[in-house]
Structure 1
């Protein structure tokens, strides 16, 4: 386990922060804003957990000869309310879709991990042992703020469908239970 006092920690921290700083500076030098850069970081997370995952599954199913759904062209008509949310920089989750399940599930798991790590630190645990894990989970929580907002706070048509939120909670609990049982073996 990587500890904060380890010399290797500083190397990893430097590489992590350096990569993000370089990416941010390149974004800013190309006449973009800091807010747009941060949204791009969130989009990277969304792409990694949704379209890349489903694209890989689709490809594997085609190779195995299993029938797939294929790609459907959908209407991209935008009403005034959607346009307003777009200009405010809000993510649109209003349509029920299985694509949101891994995204919402990962957000819930990140939040639970962050709360658990914080609880360990507050109980007097060794901060050095959980610092890296807490940092990674906290970074995940920061990236998932629009998802939490869509699941809990928002009341407009762009909010996360309740069915998707509940299904994600059930999947996250199931994954936690499976991990707990595997650790008991």
Structure 2
């Protein structure tokens, strides 16, 4: 804020750090381990660098681009869905079951989960609300939903 930035710029930077921490750093670490073990083959993929008018407009509006069915987006979507499931589950536990005693013990977890849901709002927006070219594909949304559902169903059993 002292450098002339706005709150919106700070919030978007927080979102990007969350995405980078949960996806790029993890896959970079795994890739480095695989290379050290000699299990990786060098590959070079050409990508398109042409900027479309729609992409330029979304960039100016500070809307995050997704648009491909990458494993990174599946991981990001799964983590976002798990946080959403946990927040909804905790809220339903308190409201429907009238179990407000759990809130006193878990207030910090509910707050952090709520903040994570807010930070991941562009992911939810790309999964469910947006209709442009840069949405998260349905196959990735489906995989993320299945992985998050299985994780939420298996965790109480452990």
Normalising by structure 1, what TM-score? 0.79
Question: Who is 1:147 aligned against?
Answer: 123
**Residues 1:138 and 1:179: Cα distance change in structure 2 (over 3 Å):** same
1:64 CA drift (Å)? 2.1
Match of 1:112 among 79, 85, 98: 85
The answer to whether the Cα contact below 8 Å between 1:58 and 1:68 also exists between their aligned partners in 2 is no
Whether 1:130 aligns to 2:106 is: yes
Cα shift readout 1:64-98 (whole Å, capped 9, x = no counterpart): 22225656452232100000011111110112211
Question: Who is 1:75 aligned against?
Answer: 48
1:111 CA drift (Å)? 0.2
Q: Give the Cα separation in 1 of the matches to 2:90 and 2:52.
A: 42
Q: Give the Cα separation in 1 of the matches to 2:139 and 2:25.
A: 23
- Contiguous gaps of at least 5 residues in structure 1: 1-27
Match of 1:177 among 149, 153, 157: 153
**Residues 1:68 and 1:166: Cα distance change in structure 2 (over 3 Å):** farther
Q: Give the Cα separation in 2 of the matches to 1:69 and 1:113.
A: 40
Question: Who is 1:51 aligned against?
Answer: 24
Normalising by structure 2, what TM-score? 0.91
Aligned length: 155
**Residues 1:40 and 1:71: Cα distance change in structure 2 (over 3 Å):** farther
Deviating above 3 A after TM superposition, structure 1's stretches of 4 or more consecutive aligned residues are 68-73
Question: Which of structures 1 and 2 has the larger relative contact order (alpha carbons within 8 angstroms, sep 6+)?
Answer: 2
CA RMSD of aligned residues (A): 1.5
- Contiguous gaps of at least 5 residues in structure 2: none
1:179 CA drift (Å)? 1.4
Helix, strand or coil: the match of 1:78?
coil
